[in-house]
Amino acid sequence: MNLSSIKNLVVASSLLITTVATTNNAIAQTPGTPGKFDFYVLTLSWSPDHCARNGKRDVQQCGSGKKYGFVLHGLWPQYQQGYPANCSTEKLPPLVKQKFRGLFPNDRLFDHQWQKHGTCTGQKPIEYLTLSRNLKYSLVIPSAYKSPEKPFRTTIKDLKSTFITANKTWNVNGIAPVCSDSGRFLQEVFFCYSKDGEPGICSAEILRRSQKSCGQDNFLVRNVR
């Protein structure tokens, strides 16, 4: 193969990679139509991991004495592939935020979660936050994850098993952990619900991403501080 052919091949490959990346990004996040989605993901972040990486920038969540374990990241409408986002310009009223004070570990999450995800549910702000709160507090957190004083190691299989033992209506395909730092630490866990708020099944896309994210033999669950 001559030099000219090699250059043409490199250019063609670069264009293909750019096209695929652009397509995947478009699939992952689209404006969408309020109420048109397939299922929900309730995302609970493991606060010790967030604070280990962002503590100095997030004093409200990570300040002295907080000692959070799992905290609400958000309730996200999903497609089987990708998810809708920013489906309307409706604002979250300040009075509604006051009604749900403490639901998120950081007040900045209220507006962000409503604008990006809540507007795609087809619900009013108070309905969206009510459902978020109800799902969050109906989920039983296993004792090992309530306030561990020491870090411990686990696997995707064992994490799922522990949550299913504490929540009998769940199954392994409804729970998807996500890891940080190339699979070294637990970052958050996705819990998939049907549109009527019942424990459901995650998409194949989410389950694949979970396996890839937590792809090491095991990962560390940081202790609560």
Q: In sequence order, what DSSP letters do the residues of the chain get, joined into one string?
A: --HHHHHHHHHHHHHHHHHHHHHHHHHHEE---TT--SEEEEEEEEHHHHHHHHGGG-HHHHSTT----EEEEEEEEE-SSSEE---------HHHHHHTTTSSSSTHHHHHHHHHTGGGTTS-HHHHHHHHHHHHHHSPPPGGGTS-SS-EEE-HHHHHHHHHHHSTT--GGGEEEEEETTTTEEEEEEEEE-TTS-B----HHHHHHHHHHT-SS-EEEPPP-
pLDDT score recorded for residue 18: 40
- DSSP per-residue codes, 75-134: EEEE-SSSEE---------HHHHHHTTTSSSSTHHHHHHHHHTGGGTTS-HHHHHHHHHH
pLDDT at 8 over 90: no
Q: Given pLDDT bands bounded at 50, 70 and 90, which one contains residue 31?
A: confident
pLDDT value at residue 56: 81
Burial letters 194-212, b for 16+ CB under 10 A, else e: eeeeebbebbebbbeebee
Q: Are 178 and 214 in contact (CB under 8 A)?
A: yes
Whether residue 16 is predicted with pLDDT greater than 50 in this model: the reply is no
Model confidence over 57-90: pLDDT tens digits?
Answer: 899 999 888 899 999 999 999 999 999 999 999 9
In this prediction, residue 170 carries a pLDDT of 97
Q: What value does the mean pLDDT take over residues 85-105?
A: 97
Counting residues of the chain whose pLDDT is more than 70, the rounded percentage is: 88
Q: Evaluate if residue 25 carries a pLDDT over 50.
A: no
Cβ atoms 206, 190 nearer than 8 A: yes
In this predicted structure, the answer to whether residue 19 has a pLDDT above a threshold of 70 is no
Percent of the chain with pLDDT over 90: 82
Q: What pTM was estimated for this model as a whole?
A: 0.86
Non-local CB neighbours of 32 within 8 Å, separated by 6+ positions: 77, 83, 84, 85, 87, 120
Which pLDDT score is estimated for 28? 62
Give the pLDDT confidence of 187-198 residue by residue, as tens digits. Answer: 999 999 999 999
pLDDT digits (tens, 9 = 90+) for 151-172: 999 999 999 999 999 999 999 9
32 contacts 120 by C-beta, under 8 angstroms: yes
Average pLDDT of the residues in 105-126 = 97
Average pLDDT over residues 146-152: 96
- Mean pLDDT score, 112-134: 98
Predicted confidence at residue 64, as pLDDT, reads 83
